[in-house]
Structure 1
């Protein structure tokens, strides 16, 4: 079903309503998120992102994601990682799989600070879909359906976004419910 361009401004409003730069930062996993802290600091404070933080540490990406950026991170929750086939996370966390782990993690990062409003504007300009190039080098697609926003990988996996616009000192996090694969 083709997304109506007339509906996109309304959809953008719905996405922004889950947390915008002008409103108080949403909590994530019940933890306060602070615009003055960086991506790594806020993710480490979220009880919903312990697996992601462990993976970022294992991949050696802490310094990168704590740097000035800016970055847009589609941050999978612990529940998202638990949807992967049994043993996948443990296998990726092994030192000999650091390259594969880094590829998966950097596939969730887009250069620049893309807020929900920015994603909606890109989708509007792109005929209903915002195509994003990740740090890993492959594309992600953001799109709206029935008032909810999603991001999908090139393999057809889709993740629901929410909350969106968790503002950071060095970018923005959009929480997602599925791990995307390059």
Structure 2
């Protein structure tokens, strides 16, 4: 009987400590930084990028196309977001034309090529690439499923007739999945 009481006391003492340890781990991941921009796991993609310094162009695309509403309908998603540097190849006039209301449908289609269904972190992506000889596809809500290719330490996101985007930052949480950072916008030429 004494052994049973000792075991019960031990379980009652250790259980709350394990729970606190788990909670402490969650609290330590309350936000992440992309450069100087803060990304919160409790916010949507748009809520995370709308006040950033390096995602101003993609924020405009989200606003112009109402993309967050469409993405929310998908459930868990992983998105590959280009920074403003990805749009540096456009001069001011070309960028203004790209971001015009008359171009909203094409922009939405291009943006959705940066979205894949499900939560895919960097390790899952690399494992899939290794299992498939350096090339992998994931289901996208877009008209084209993007192809992922590995080459050395880099992973690229590709679609036909567009410049490849290299993944430059990974594993930033949003409330329904992951954000990865890329250096190009997949817009068909």
The normalised TM-score by structure 1 is: 0.78
Structure 1 unaligned blocks of 5 or more: 1-20
In the aligned structure 1, how far is the partner of 2:140 from the partner of 2:89?
A: 22
Shift in CA distance, 167/138, structure 1 to aligned 2, threshold 3 Å: same
Larger radius of gyration: 2
The answer to whether the 8 Å contact 2:77/2:117 transfers is: yes
Structure 2 unaligned blocks of 5 or more: 1-25
Which one has more relative contact order, counting CA pairs under 8 Å at least 6 apart? Answer: 1
Residues 58-79 of structure 1, C-alpha deviation per residue, up to 9 Å, x if partnerless? 0122323456721111101111
The normalised TM-score by structure 2 is: 0.75
**Is structure 2 residue 117 aligned with structure 1 residue 136?**
no
In the aligned structure 2, how far is the partner of 1:72 from the partner of 1:155?
A: 23
The alpha carbon displacement at 1:86 in A equals 5.7
Give the alignment partner of residue 90 of structure 1, picking from 87, 96, 99: 96
Aligned to 2:114: 108
Aligned to 1:174: 180
The answer to whether the 8 Å contact 2:134/2:150 transfers is: yes
Give the alignment partner of residue 146 of structure 1, picking from 135, 148, 152: 152
CA-based RMSD: 2.3
The answer to whether the 8 Å contact 2:109/2:142 transfers is: yes
Residues 23-58 of structure 1, C-alpha deviation per residue, up to 9 Å, x if partnerless? 956411311211121211112242110110111100
Of Structure 1 and Structure 2, the greater helix share is in: 2
**Is structure 2 residue 33 aligned with structure 1 residue 27?**
yes
Give the alignment partner of residue 126 of structure 1, picking from 132, 143, 146: 132
In the aligned structure 1, how far is the partner of 2:74 from the partner of 2:112?
A: 16
The answer to whether the 8 Å contact 1:161/1:175 transfers is: yes
The alpha carbon displacement at 1:89 in A equals 2.9
